[in-house]
Amino acid sequence: MTPTSQQSSDHTGFHLPLFSIPQSCLLQIGTASILLLLTTQKATKELLESMGQASEELFRGDRLPILPFPDAPSDNTFQTNTNNKERD
């Protein structure tokens, strides 16, 4: 008695009208595409992380110029504004 779960190798794979693609070839194509997808995902993740770190460096403020900002308003600015109004 032969087991009924066995199939002949003629029925495996992808059959088209003109030719058939063996199952092992389909498996190789699928495996290669998954490996390529995983490699691309890893490269994209590293690229996005490096872009995030670069943007943090940009907005950190160490390289920004120090602007002169007075602690308290001086009377000199008030006098300059009134002198300009008198000239007009």
**Predicted local confidence at residue 6, as pLDDT:** 53
Q: How far is CA 15 from each of CA 6, 22, 24, 25, rounded to the nearest angstrom?
A: 19, 8, 13, 13
Evaluate if pTM is beyond 0.75.
no
The predicted-structure confidence for 40-69, as pLDDT tens digits, reads as follows 999 999 999 999 999 888 777 666 777 888
Distance of alpha carbon 53 from alpha carbon 45, whole angstroms:
12
Distance of alpha carbon 4 from alpha carbon 48, whole angstroms:
53
Contact call for residues 55 and 48 (beta carbons, < 8 A):
no
Contact call for residues 20 and 14 (beta carbons, < 8 A):
yes
Confidence category of residue 39, pLDDT binned at 50, 70, 90? very high
